[in-house]
Chains A and B, each alone.
Chain A
Amino acid sequence: NAGVTQTPKFQVLKTGQSMTLQCAQDMNHEYMSWYRQDPGMGLRLIHYSVGAGITDQGEVPNGYNVSRSTTEDFPLRLLSAAPSQTSVYFCASRIRASGGYTFGSGTRLTVV
């Protein structure tokens, strides 16, 4: 049972480039979320999904897009990377609103 798998683990982008951070879970969880973690700011919610075909914005959605075509996958797209998007990105899933999240191991993104 792999849990939540994120790829890549590390990425360096140039300003203006686009990319997709991948997230997959094999626990049949309905809820999935993307967070970014910055020093001294904790984790901030970017986008979340409560099931296939359903997504919504979190606290800091600007510059990011998501889609949820299957229960398993929840990719995060950076449309035009900016240095302010340098961060560690975590994908997480949970079975229901009262359940604890299972987190992936993170993607460390640097935008130069």
Chain B
Amino acid sequence: AQSVTQLDSQVPVFEEAPVELRCNYSSSVSVYLFWYVQYPNQGLQLLLKYLSGSTLVKGINGFEAEFNKSQTSFHLRKPSVHISDTAEYFCAVSETGANNLFFGTGTRLTVIP
């Protein structure tokens, strides 16, 4: 069975500093990987996805993530955060071609002025 672990429930970071949000997954087969962002009282919005090919994936709002198959990780990074990046971030995984998409428990990013 698949599972997704987001290692940090809360990450405070100062404005303009870099940030990394960690995500590990467990699966014995090939997977699709996703990062979503949720702003307060809103639905989730897709940041980026990895399907195949290059392991470095660039998304919206300056975010990027790197797929590491040997470490079964898909960490999200941004070199310089803004106040507007304050939100909850969810990592999600599905087996290639499968219908289910499984989410992690989320990481709340708080950007401090």
- A residues touching B (Cβ–Cβ < 8 Å)? 4, 31, 33, 35, 40-45, 48, 50, 56, 58-59, 90, 92, 97-98, 100-106
Contact = CB atoms under 8 A, between A and B. Distances in A.
Given A42-B90, A98-B51, A33 B43 contact: no
Contacts, number: 59
- Chain B, interface size: which category? 20 to 34
A100 B49 contact: yes
A74 B9 CA distance: 32
Nearest to B91: A42
B32 interface: yes
Contacts of A58: 100
8 contacts: A35-B103, A40-B9, A42-B4, A42-B106, A90-B43, A97-B99, A101-B44, A106-B43
**Nearest 10 Cβ contacts at the A-B interface:** A103-B43, A100-B46, A42-B105, A43-B103, A42-B103, A103-B44, A105-B43, A98-B51, A42-B106, A100-B49
